[in-house]
Amino acid sequence: MQSVLVFSRTTGFRHESIPAAVRAIHELGTAAGFGVDVTEDAAAFRASNLRRYAVVVWALTSGDVLDDGGRAAFEAYIADGGGYVGVHGAADTEYGWPWYGALVGAWFRSHPEPQRAVVRIEDGTHAATAHLPTSWTRFDEWYDYRTDPRPGVHVLATVDESTYDGGGMGADHPIAWCHAYGGGRAFYTGMGHTAESYEEPEFRVHLLGGIRWAAAPHAADHALPGSA
């Protein structure tokens, strides 16, 4: 089944932009020809259900959101070629689950007040960034991470700390990345704090590109239209 599952459960901070994110992914699926299901029920993380989806999008999740059975099922899903997309608060999730920390690439540490900044595109060929200018100026909440994800992931974009106030990672501040992990694919974007983000054409294509990329092509029965 050519579908995406959007998971937006929170047990910590809850973003007011979750409905906008869910609506945007629904609209992207309708336009691109793939189905979208939405849940905040941890019981959805069972093998019999997860196998229906090409990608699971963790949209602005926070805190501990799965039980032990759900964690095991999701690890098995990724091992079987499944795709993961993490959006913004997905890095503020499951701090006690090392496997998940490696999947997302880095955990959230802190952030200054939302403000405009310049995003520098490192990979102009990836599905999530090929449409973007080399320097992309936008308003968002710019996460600092507990570790630099770069050693273990392919960085797609960084945020230039010289263009905003309060950044805490220095000259190299990845903000979107992807990698093969545990048999599947993982894409993460630190952007998407505001509801307005999901109305931005450039951000929506960024998100769609990440979803399509995460639909691992070797899982032929799970591939989404346009995934490569």
Residue 118: pLDDT over 60: yes
Residue 110: pLDDT over 80: yes
At residue 218 the predicted structure's pLDDT band, cuts being 50, 70 and 90, is very low
In this predicted model, which residue has the larger pLDDT, 35 or 220? 35
Average pLDDT over residues 55-59: 98
Helix H or strand E segment including 23: helix 18-32
- Domain 3-107+174-222: what homologous superfamily? Class I glutamine amidotransferase (GATase) domain (3.40.50.880)
Residue 45: pLDDT over 60: yes
Average pLDDT over residues 132-146: 98
Structure tokens, 102? 């490696």
Share of the chain above pLDDT 70, in %: 94
* Residue 135 confidence (pLDDT): 98
Q: Which of 13-22, 87-96, 179-188, 213-222 has the lowest mean pLDDT?
A: 213-222
Residue 174: pLDDT over 50: yes
Structure tokens, 208? 């769609």
Contact assessment for residue 3 and residue 56, using Cβ atoms and an 8 Å cutoff: no
Q: pLDDT digits over 3-17, tens only?
A: 999 999 999 999 999
Residue 28: pLDDT over 90: yes
Q: What is the DSSP string of 38-106?
A: EE--GGG-SHHHHTT-SEEEEES-BB----HHHHHHHHHHHHTT-EEEEEGGGGGB-TT-HHHHHHHSS
Average pLDDT over residues 206-214: 97
At residue 2 the predicted structure's pLDDT band, cuts being 50, 70 and 90, is confident
Helix H or strand E segment including 213: helix 201-214
- Nearest CA to 183 out of 108, 73, 81, 88 is that of 81
Helix H or strand E segment including 36: strand 35-39
